[in-house]
Amino acid sequence: MSPNILEYSYLIPAVPFVSAIFLLLFGKRLKPIVAGVIGTVAMGSTFIMWIISFCALQNIEGEEVRRMTSQGYTWMQIGNFSVDFRFMVDPLSIVMVGFITLVATLIHVYSIGYMKGDPRFSRFFAYLNLFAASMLILVLGENLLVTFLGWEGVGLCSYLLISFWFEKKSAATAGKKAFVANRVGDVGFLLAMFLIIATPSLGSLSYTHIQDRVSAVPTISATAIVLLLFVGAMGKSAQFPLHIWLPDAMEGPTPVSALIHAATMVTAGVFLLVRISPLIGTASPEASSIIAIVGLITALYAAICALAQNDIKRVLAYSTISQLGFTFLAIGVGAYSGAIFHVVTHAFFKALLFLGSGSVIHAMHPVAHEKHFDEQDMRNMGGLKKHLPITHATFLVGWLAIAGIFPFAGFWSKDEILGATFLRGGILGYGLWVLGMFAALLTAFYMTRQVQMVFYSKPRFGETENLPHESPKTMTIPLIILSAFGALIGLINVPLKSREELTKFIDPAIHGSKHAEIATFVKINGLSLAGISLALAIIGILIGIKVYRSRPVDSDDEPLKALGPVVPLSLNAFYVNTGVANLVAGIGTKFANTLAFFVDNKVIDGASSNMAKGIEDSGRILRKIQSGFVRRYVLYMSGGTLLILLLALWGNAQ
Amino acid sequence: MTITTTHYLVLAAIVFCIGLAGVSIRKNALVMFMSIELMLNAANLTFVAYSQALDDIAGQVVVFFILVVAAGEVAVGLALMVAIFRRKNKTSPDEISNMAEIVRIDDSEVTNVS
């Protein structure tokens, strides 16, 4: 495959985009199944294009970084500053595109089954396509502005998809919440772009340009840019304290949860920081430490929150936040390819878990309908292994993968991150490592709790004729494929040789990564560290099994109660949500009221309406002059001329 | 008595004032036109006088421009007058005051629209 074909890489986001427009315009006239197939085929074709692009990228020769820019045009040109609308294929973006297109395609197939009978079926597929297109624009962008375009696109689509069932008030509110929380992060992104433009040694948003010039950037500017972009990444990738939107995003249909939380939107922040990792290298080390600490706080906090959740999807939502915390920890300690590795493995096993939970919800739906309970509440499940054999088997793979059991995907990537943290050394490095290990232990525990509550123990939904049933093929086949990836995807970066395959592939695209050190780590003490983390994961699982096997969970008998005050804290996510709500409702509302009723009404509106009034009044006076007598005009004119003449003479005389 | 530049300038001033008075006082549009021509030519006279006094040909060149513009102005103005006369049968500019703030219903009565 000739590398020149990569000039057409703009087709990768274009195809789902066109499909989305088509479905939005004509979707209602199509049969639902046709609309679903169109959306799925559009998505599948991007995966085929990915295979072609991947092969073509391998064929780029030379010492230079393997990188190919697509055709495009100058988007805007202001003086010396210009931005191109172009896409760029390089090892980093091709890895992102790979798992995005694959997971998104599988989610499309799954949605055909899951969304069956929904009145807005075709629109759902249009949004899914638009979402995928935005995400592909984001990762393929040649400069920060194109990335920002995709960044806003996924923000919009997440709003549309989370509040897809907008008849439910909670869904509409959750969509708004996601949108607003993301907007906070976007401000950081925008400011970072302005700062890059204003920095004389950078002055361009192109990634290639930034990478080339990075050594000339003053540390202070680099630090500011990195921290601002980090704020942006915190919003998109749900880092503490901007994570509040993600648990609520569960209001959307389950495939959306899988798409947003697994494959796409939440990985955007990680991708962005890895993309500008050369700048992180230039920035002061404190910036990296901040990223690592925020990542760890998020990982630990979300893991504790996940402990006591009863909603099957909320457990997964908090585990997503926790896993993203791990990837930010990786970025903070300089393991950029490790972060990408974890994002890739997480995409597969978390999509697997979400789609599995969707299958469970789908199965519980008739029972829940009959008995009037919440179909997502794990307290009403139990013993589903018998009824959902395929879902059960695939869910187990996801469970082992996220818990970090050898040789499933999560083991390799989580281990690489924790190893890199350990290698960072110092009080910070070891401290982060210990806490990270603890978070990993908690992960193993709460996932075991979920599996036990859903698939094992006695059924808690009582006697019913509507027994839960296995989902249709369109839903189980994606699960099976994803479980294969969830089990094996970790092998792409097995540390068998001196460096791992994925790392070797990505590293040239992100100069300034400190990966050389990690390679040595793998040789020296990788094995013992991996042993410790594996042991902790197994301990977590064993505790989980012991606690939840021996004491069958009833609605009001929760073994976690032994932990005391942690349970309400965990269930309410440390009241962060309420805290933010109070802050916004109290000071925020007061501030907004002042703005609206004083500043806006009196100052801004006052200025413009008074100006208008002044002009109106002067017009009322001046129009008397227009009398209709031409001869009077002549008089005015000659009088005026005389006046000017006198003034000129007077001026001369001075 | 020799005729100096001052004489020409005084003459031009007198002619200009006659023209100005004509435009301001007379009601007939044709006469107003003639008065405007007087004012223009007073200006021309000034230009020529200075041109001669300063020994600079530029002044005379400007005069030609003014003549051309004046001719154009007359052509357009007369055409307008003929057109207005055909429509309204009026020749006095005072009677054509549709654009005025005060609309004159006839010569005596004055009504304010607003």
Angle subtended at Cα A351 by Cα A344 and Cα A263, rounded to the nearest 5 degrees: 50
ipTM of the complex as predicted: 0.74
Q: Is the pLDDT of residue A132 over 90?
A: yes
Q: How many helices (H) and strands (E) does chain A have?
A: 27, 4
User: Among partner residues B93, B101, B103, which is closest to A630 by beta-carbon distance?
Assistant: B93
Whole-number pLDDT of residue B108: 47
- Report chain B residues whose CB lies below 8 A from the CB of A625: 101
Q: By the CB < 8 Å criterion, does A458 face chain B?
A: no
Of A263-272, A611-620, B83-92, give the lowest mean pLDDT range: B83-92
Which of B1 and A273 is assigned the larger pLDDT?
Answer: A273
Q: Is the pLDDT of residue A461 over 80?
A: no
Whole-number pLDDT of residue B113: 46
Q: What is the pLDDT of residues A36-89, one digit of tens each?
A: 999 999 999 999 999 999 988 888 876 566 788 888 888 888 888 888 899 998
Residue B97 and residue A634: Cβ atoms within 8 Å? Answer: no
Size of interface A-B (CB pairs under 8 A): 38
Which domains does chain B possess? 5-107 (1.10.287.3510)
Of A311-315, A543-547, A627-631, give the lowest mean pLDDT range: A627-631
Q: Please report, as a single letter, which amino acid is at residue B25.
A: I
Cβ–Cβ < 8 Å for B5, B50: yes
Cβ–Cβ < 8 Å for A283, A217: no
Whole-number pLDDT of residue A498: 56
Q: By the CB < 8 Å criterion, does A372 face chain B?
A: no
Residue A624 and residue B100: Cβ atoms within 8 Å? Answer: no
- Report chain A residues whose CB lies below 8 A from the CB of B28: none
What pTM was computed for the model?
0.76
Q: Please, which pLDDT band fits residue A516 given cuts at 50, 70 and 90?
A: very low
User: Among partner residues B20, B97, B103, which is closest to A638 by beta-carbon distance?
Assistant: B20
Cβ count near A585 (within 10 Å):
11
Which of B108 and A597 is assigned the larger pLDDT?
Answer: A597
For B23, name the nearest residue in chain A, comparing CA atoms only: A631
Q: Please, which pLDDT band fits residue A411 given cuts at 50, 70 and 90?
A: confident
Tell me the percentage of chain A whose pLDDT exceeds 90. 28
Of A150-154, A211-215, A343-347, give the lowest mean pLDDT range: A211-215
CA–CA distance, A175 with A163 (Å, rounded to integer): 5
CA–CA distance, A261 with A358 (Å, rounded to integer): 13
User: Among partner residues B20, B25, B97, which is closest to A628 by beta-carbon distance?
Assistant: B97
Q: Is the pLDDT of residue A294 over 90?
A: yes
Q: By the CB < 8 Å criterion, does A624 face chain B?
A: yes
Cβ–Cβ < 8 Å for A526, A495: yes
> CA–CA distance from A333 to each of A326, A337, A425, A492 (Å)?
11, 11, 10, 22
Nearest-neighbour CA in chain B from A614: distance (Å): 19
Q: Best of B16, B17, B18, B23 to disrupt the A interface by mutation (most A CBs within 10 Å)?
A: B23
Q: Please, which pLDDT band fits residue A557 given cuts at 50, 70 and 90?
A: low
Q: Is the pLDDT of residue A240 over 60?
A: yes
Q: Is the pLDDT of residue A119 over 90?
A: no
- Report chain B residues whose CB lies below 8 A from the CB of A634: 20, 23-24
Token pair for A523: 């040789």
Residue A21 buriedness (CB in 10 A; 0-12 / 13-18 / 19+): middle
Residue A631 and residue B93: Cβ atoms within 8 Å? Answer: yes
Burial A268-286 (b: 16+ CB within 10 A, else e): bbbbbbbbbbbbbbbbeee
User: Among partner residues A624, A630, A638, which is closest to B101 by beta-carbon distance?
Assistant: A624
Q: Which residues of B touch A (CB under 8 A)?
A: 20, 23-25, 32, 93-94, 97-104
Token pair for A349: 């096993």
Whole-number pLDDT of residue A48: 94
What does the mean pLDDT of chain A come to?
Answer: 85
Q: Which of A65-69, A272-276, A377-381 has the highest mean pLDDT?
A: A272-276
Burial A169-187 (b: 16+ CB within 10 A, else e): eebbebbebbbebbeebbe
Residue A630 and residue B94: Cβ atoms within 8 Å? Answer: yes
- Report chain B residues whose CB lies below 8 A from the CB of A638: 20, 24
Q: Is the pLDDT of residue A463 over 80?
A: no
Query: What stretch of H or E contains A403?
Result: helix A389-403
Q: By the CB < 8 Å criterion, does A464 face chain B?
A: no
Whole-number pLDDT of residue A39: 92
Which of A419 and A566 is assigned the larger pLDDT?
Answer: A419
Whole-number pLDDT of residue A587: 86
Taking the CA atoms of A627, A632, A633 and A639 in sequence, report the sign of the dihedral they define: negative
Greatest CA span in chain B, whole angstroms? 62
Strand stretches in A242-333, DSSP E: none
Residues 6+ apart with CB under 8 A from A30: A23, A38, A122
Of A76-85, A202-211, A501-510, B76-85, give the lowest mean pLDDT range: A501-510
- Report CA A510 to chain centroid distance, whole Å: 21
Q: Please, which pLDDT band fits residue A497 given cuts at 50, 70 and 90?
A: low
Cβ–Cβ < 8 Å for A125, A23: yes
Please give the average per-residue pLDDT across A201-229, as a whole number.
87
Q: Is the pLDDT of residue A176 over 50?
A: yes
3-state DSSP assignment of residue A228: helix
Tell me the percentage of chain A whose pLDDT exceeds 70. 93
For B28, name the nearest residue in chain A, comparing CA atoms only: A631
Cβ–Cβ < 8 Å for B66, B40: yes
Write the secondary structure of A150-178 as one string of H (helix), E (strand) and C (coil). HHHHHHHHHHHHHCCCCCCHHHHHHHHHH
Whole-number pLDDT of residue A515: 47
Whole-number pLDDT of residue A496: 64
Q: Is the pLDDT of residue A220 over 80?
A: yes
Residues of chain B under the 70 pLDDT cut? 98-114
